[in-house]
């Protein structure tokens, strides 16, 4: 019965649910929204320090909306999926302009904001405004896929539609915020991907995946394709003052809007596009490998001594910056990794 599912889940939550997460302390719609965006495809333990730094720097919608996007991405650096940070800033500007700097208590208005999909909007409505809306994040999908032993990949359109319907049917009439949190907590702490603690689960006795004896076969996994490998070269220019040249990436594409090194597909420096006097150093930099969701990237950095000239310095897509100061900018993880290496090496000029 529906009531049995929700009652058991809420009873478990009362004793074992997470109630001391930073965004649960004096929660506001802004705190819920920020935490839900950060938690997309990211573990709670990873999110907590980012959330705390972010909320200290941007305590409300106005502070976030008025911030420079570089400051936002600088605090987001290392958290990954950088479109989330860009969309968060865009949404804050829209909320400031169209909703008096208050997260709207309206499901459709939330969906109209950049970076907010059905599940995130549902979480905000339930957790912040105590409205009866379902969610279907990764944890909830796993719980429902196991509870019903769904034998198709949940990402398929029909399967996902059926899970949304199921999630809505299971909603209780009362304590909706606690119930939504309980679903997420159960998936995060007991109904985990590889080692579910079924003996401790409040849904065990009528869970079809548990009854099958092979709960980890659910959710059914998507057939993986071999990831292609791409190659690129970074050109690391360093001047006599230990400044490095960084280039802001286009807003669209990987690492959109973040600062990186000039790059090219050949091992030759891009002299035609950057009028820099440079000399290739004999010392080589370590190869960097980075894995995205759809491909693997191999990066070969080349180190050059260079002379910063006004034409480059005045170009708003390129900046000369001290190595240590560069770490305050919005940087992709591999760029930060290489800058740390440059900072620690004794080969600086």
- How far apart CA 159 and CA 182 sit, in angstroms, is 23
3-state secondary structure of 11: helix
Q: Which residue has the tokens 């071999």?
A: 226
Q: Which residue has the tokens 């001594």?
A: 305
Measure Cα distances from 313 to 26, 47, 74, 245, 273 in Å.
45, 35, 21, 9, 14
**Bridge partners, 300 (sequence order):** 233
Active site residue 160: no
Please give the distance of CA 179 from its chain centroid, rounded to a whole number: 24
Please give the distance of CA 105 from its chain centroid, rounded to a whole number: 24
Residue 182 structure tokens: 């309980």
- How far apart CA 268 and CA 234 sit, in angstroms, is 10
* Among 7, 36, 160, 173, the one annotated catalytic: 36
- How far apart CA 174 and CA 166 sit, in angstroms, is 18
Catalytic residues: 36
């Amino acid at each position: 019965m529906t009531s049995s599912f929700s009652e058991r889940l809420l009873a478990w939550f009362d004793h074992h649910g997470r109630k001391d997460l930073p965004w649960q302390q004096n929660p506001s719609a802004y705190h819920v929204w920020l935490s839900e965006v950060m938690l997309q495809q990211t573990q709670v333990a990873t999110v907590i320090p980012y959330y705390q730094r972010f909320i200290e720097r941007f305590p409300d919608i106005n502070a976030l909306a008025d911030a420079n996007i570089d400051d936002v991405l600088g605090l987001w650096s290392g958290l990954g999926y950088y479109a989330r940070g860009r969309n968060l800033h865009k949404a804050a500007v829209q909320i400031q302009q169209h909703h008096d700097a208050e997260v709207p208590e309206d499901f459709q208005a939330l969906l109209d904001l950049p970076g907010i999909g059905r599940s995130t909007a549902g979480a905000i409505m339930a957790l912040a405004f105590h409205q009866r809306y379902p969610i279907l994040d990764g944890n909830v999908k796993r719980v429902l896929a196991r509870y019903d032993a769904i034998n198709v990949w949940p990402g398929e359109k029909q399967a996902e539609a059926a899970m949304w319907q199921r999630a809505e049917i299971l909603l209780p009439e009362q304590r909706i915020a606690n119930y939504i949190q309980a679903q997420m907590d159960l998936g995060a702490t007991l109904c985990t991907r590889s080692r579910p603690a079924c003996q401790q689960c409040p849904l065990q006795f009528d869970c079809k995946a548990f009854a099958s004896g092979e709960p980890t076969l659910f959710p059914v996994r998507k057939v993986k394709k071999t990831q292609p490998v791409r190659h690129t070269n970074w050109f690391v220019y360093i001047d006599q003052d230990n400044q490095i040249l960084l280039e802001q990436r286009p807003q669209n594409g990987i690492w959109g809007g973040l600062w990186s090194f000039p790059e090219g597909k050949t091992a030759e420096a891009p002299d035609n596009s950057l009028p820099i006097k440079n000399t290739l150093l004999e010392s080589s930099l370590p190869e960097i490998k980075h894995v995205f969701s759809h491909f693997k990237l191999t990066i070969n950095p080349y180190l050059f001594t260079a002379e910063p000239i006004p034409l480059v310095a005045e170009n708003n897509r390129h900046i000369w910056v001290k190595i240590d100061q560069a770490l305050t900018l919005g940087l992709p993880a591999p760029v930060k990794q290489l800058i740390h290496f440059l900072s620690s090496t004794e080969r600086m000029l």
